[in-house]
Amino acid sequence: MSEEKYDLVVIGSGPGGYVASIVAAQKGMKVASIEKRTTLGGTCLNVGCIPSKAMLHASEQYENAVKLNGNKEWGITCKDVKLDLTKLLKKKSGIVDELTKGIDFLYKKNKVTKYIGTAKFITANSIEITGDNTRNLIHAENIIIATGSEATHLPNINIDEKKIVTSTGALELKEVPKKMIVIGAGIIGLEMGTVWRRLGSDVEVIEYLPRILPGMDNEVAEKFMKILEKQGLNFKLGQAVESSKIVENKVVLSIRNVTKENTYEIDADVVLVAVGRKPNTHGLGLKDLNIDIDKHGFIKTNNHFQTSINNIYAIGDVIKGPMLAHKAEEDGVAAVEIINGEAGHVDYNLVPGIIYTAPEVAVIGKTEEELKEEGIEFNKGVFPLSANSRAKAISHTDGMVKILSDKSTDKILGAHMIGHEAGTVIHELSIAMGFGASSEDVARICHGHPTVNEAVKEAALATYSKAIHF
């Protein structure tokens, strides 16, 4: 049994935890990273961002090839397009494998010690790690909790990860379901629903609220829903899923129409439950240490990521803020900087949100609804991608860029876009907003032609003057 002492112990090796471990080691700290999975990288690399993006990529290629079959418009024909799902899943797993091993390499390079096992606090400075056949007790001056989140379950719906799946099971289906029902029109539901629709499933999305993507800008959510419907995704809004049963190899869901209050049943071959995620803190022994947790299960922290115990910090999905990998990474860096006596800070208003469908959706800053609620007067500039020459040249004209700027100062307050590679394009606005730029600042920057970024320039121009090409 090891009784090693470290400057910093990080529990969890997702994007928050592994980044914190590496940065701390780079700053000269003696660091240990504890992970209960056998591979590093957490949800994001193992069963989240990375495998889902691999499947979104593969399914998009497949759908494009299928669409070319018999399509004379571009003069390209693609016949006998076949899907080998086993190979697709193997390729996806190979990508995950390479990336998780890449973190092992970075740990070795930076001299981060890895412990595989489940961590439990014994005191505020010591942690017990229980592995398959191992038990270690290690000590630390400072500890960061970065244990992430897990899928929220619904009462009366029994997840078996085969017929009723979370996002984890949805990455491993052995055959394309004829009919798939997705419960929840959030990011996971729309991304994974899109993957399986492209691969051949008839996909229906059941959402409790009267809209998709709660919290996102209304106009963007409405336009995006129309685009997804055009692509073949079916939506049932204002419907609460109440229970499930298996009848003759089908999943039968009992659904209540929220406004009409009537209940009915629909069936599917596979049901994906994507109704949100909850912080993962059980088994850590937080109660015994009296670490404060809010009513939703999030660990309470001050502005320095400190929990109610000074030398114990928490970052990423277990604390407040958007549950996103890149937010967790920024939290990790800032927490390490603070532990190291430097200034660390993350502006949650400037964390971009991206949906990796085609077109992509990318948002940053305030929505129109938030600005109205906060009583902030704003100008709005919108530019449709149908008027962008690059979008036209590549047949990706679905979408728009919308920029919201302060009425009196012209400072950009929010940017919302749907479009080809919007998740990449949005970063010009992230940088602009990070430097407190105005719409005019962005509009006066020379943008390359032809690029989708020109739609950003035009939307910026439209906030205080007039777009040129629309």
Binding residue for ligand NAI, selected from 12, 148, 186, 384, defined by CB under 6 A:
186
Q: Given the complex with ligand NAI, which of 218 and 379 has the nearer CB atom? A: 218
Binding residue for ligand NAI, selected from 10, 181, 275, 315, defined by CB under 6 A:
275
Binding residue for ligand NAI, selected from 119, 127, 355, 461, defined by CB under 6 A:
355
Contact between 206 and ligand NAI by CB under 6 A: the answer reads: yes
Name every residue whose Cβ is closer than 8 Å to that of residue 318 and which is 6 or more positions away in sequence: 145, 146, 147, 148, 149, 279, 280, 281, 298, 299
Q: Given the complex with ligand NAI, which of 11 and 183 has the nearer CB atom? A: 183
Catalytic residue among 282, 345, 449, 469: 449
User: Among all residues, whose Cβ is closest to ligand NAI?
Assistant: 186
Residue appearing with tokens 């049963």: 245
Stretch binding ligand NAI (CB under 6 A), from 92-100, 203-211, 428-436, 442-450: 203-211
| # residues near ligand NAI by CB under 6 A | 25
Stretch binding ligand NAI (CB under 6 A), from 226-234, 272-280, 304-312, 451-459: 272-280
Q: Given the complex with ligand NAI, which of 52 and 201 has the nearer CB atom? A: 52
Q: How far is the CB of 298 from ligand NAI (least distance, A)?
A: 12
Q: State how far the Cα of 280 lies from the Cα of 315, in Å rounded to an integer.
A: 12
CA 21 to chain centre: 22
Stretch binding ligand NAI (CB under 6 A), from 206-214, 336-344, 375-383, 454-462: 206-214
Stretch binding ligand NAI (CB under 6 A), from 224-232, 288-296, 342-350, 354-362: 354-362
CA 308 to chain centre: 28
Q: State how far the Cα of 455 lies from the Cα of 466, in Å rounded to an integer.
A: 13
Q: Given the complex with ligand NAI, which of 312 and 355 has the nearer CB atom? A: 355
Q: Given the complex with ligand NAI, which of 189 and 359 has the nearer CB atom? A: 189
Contact between 58 and ligand NAI by CB under 6 A: the answer reads: no
Q: Given the complex with ligand NAI, which of 241 and 339 has the nearer CB atom? A: 241
Q: Given the complex with ligand NAI, which of 112 and 192 has the nearer CB atom? A: 192
* Binding positions for ligand NAI, 97-156, rule CB under 6 A: 154
Locate 106 and state its tokens.
């970075």
Binding residue for ligand NAI, selected from 41, 51, 184, 359, defined by CB under 6 A:
184
Q: Given the complex with ligand NAI, which of 189 and 365 has the nearer CB atom? A: 189
Q: How far is the CB of 102 from ligand NAI (least distance, A)?
A: 20
Contact between 233 and ligand NAI by CB under 6 A: the answer reads: no
* Binding positions for ligand NAI, 284-323, rule CB under 6 A: 323
449 assigned to active site: yes
Residue from 309, 311, 292 nearest 300 by CA: 292
Binding residue for ligand NAI, selected from 189, 316, 414, 419, defined by CB under 6 A:
189
Contact between 276 and ligand NAI by CB under 6 A: the answer reads: yes
Q: How far is the CB of 348 from ligand NAI (least distance, A)?
A: 13
Binding residue for ligand NAI, selected from 171, 274, 412, 413, defined by CB under 6 A:
274
Contact between 188 and ligand NAI by CB under 6 A: the answer reads: yes
Task: Catalog residues that contact ligand NAI under the rule CB under 6 A.
Answer: 154, 183-189, 191, 206-209, 214, 240-241, 274-277, 323-324, 354-356
Residues noted as catalytic: 449
